[in-house]
Amino acid sequence: MGRGKIEIKRIENTTTRQVTFSKRRGGLIKKTKELSVLCDAQIGIIIFSSTGKMWQWCTESFRMEQIIEKYQRATGARIAECDHPREEFIHDMAMLRQETLRLELGIQRYLGEEIGCLQFEDLTKLEEELENSVAKVRNRQNELLQQQMENLRRKERILEEENNNLSSWEHRAVLEFEKATLEASKPMHMMDEFPFFEEQSAGSILQLASPVLPHFHPYLQLAQPNIKPQ
């Protein structure tokens, strides 16, 4: 069962129309290439889409200009040259030249040159413009100076904080070192650890120790002096 015949008319759907254009354009160029190779034909194709985009193809051994020139010789037709773009180009060039000259003259006047032909009103206007320009330059200079001053103040505060932190650290380190040195220089005596011994006599200490000593070891006894009669 063969495919149904497609009615040849404009496709209303934009997406479908673009897809169909892309597919059929590729098929047309493919068939043109085959015809050129198989039959040694000289072919040139120029295609414009509905959006104005152009595609072109011609036989690989030729250029499109050669194909068009051969067409003109064969038909005797001449493609009319349009001088309008050329005239517009010349007009634009003249306008740009005049604008360039005007800008150069304005720069010279700002530098105090070429002012001999100016009238009093023109000189007054030029003076006002220069004063406005100078005022803008000075305002910008003041802004930059303020920014630099703020940056310097910020750096100064940071350096002061770092200096204070360093001084505090050095002070703590010195105090710790002096404390350690002082503790190391003190004499270590056992009796100094028990200051209550200084207020008691040796007999008191023995009396205090006598009831305690038997508790150290069951075999520990106090030695009694052995006094024999003469």
Task: Please identify, among 26, 56, 79, the residue that sits at the C-terminal boundary of a domain.
Answer: 79
- For residue 5, give the 3-state DSSP assignment: coil
Angle 84-110/120-185 helices, nearest 10 degrees?
A: 70
What confidence score (pLDDT) does residue 129 get?
Answer: 87
Report yes or no: 59 and 42 within 8 Å, Cβ to Cβ.
yes
CATH code at 41? 3.40.1810.10
Same domain for 61 and 95, yes or no, is: no
Q: Look-up: residue for tokens 């306008």?
A: 95
pLDDT at 152: 92
Radius of gyration of the chain (CA): 56
| Torsion 164-167-172-173 (CA) sign | positive
Q: Which domain holds residue 112?
A: 81-117
pLDDT of 190 reads 47
CA torsion sign for 147, 148, 150, 151 is positive
**CA 192 from centroid of its chain's CA atoms:** 71
Question: Is the full-model pTM beyond 0.75?
Answer: no
Give pLDDT, residue 158: 92
Confidence at residue 213, expressed as pLDDT on a 0 to 100 scale: 45
State residue 52's pLDDT score.
85
User: Is 218 part of any domain?
Assistant: no
H or E stretch at 134: helix 120-185
Intervals of the chain under pLDDT 70: 1-4, 79-85, 186-230
226 within a domain of the structure (yes/no): no
Q: Which residue has the tokens 């006047």?
A: 109
Residue 216 and residue 204: Cα distance in Å, rounded? 19
Task: For 15-28, write each residue's pLDDT tens digit.
Answer: 888 889 999 999 99
Under 8 Å between Cβ of 58 and 43: yes
- 180 within domain boundaries: no
Given a contact cutoff of 8 angstroms between Cβ atoms, the answer to whether 62 and 44 are in contact is yes
Number of domains in the chain: 2
Q: Could you say which of 117, 144, 179 is where a domain stops?
A: 117
Tell me what pLDDT residue 217 has: 47
Do 22 and 59 share a structural domain?
yes
CA distance 91 to 138: 41
Q: Check residue 85 and give its pLDDT.
A: 65
Q: Look at residue 197 in the predicted model and tell me its pLDDT.
A: 46
Residue 68 lies in a domain: yes
Residue 205: per-residue pLDDT: 47
Contact between residue 47 and residue 22 where contact means Cβ atoms under 8 Å apart: no
DSSP letters spanning 28-60: HHHHHHHHHHHHT---EEEEE-TTS-EEEEE-T
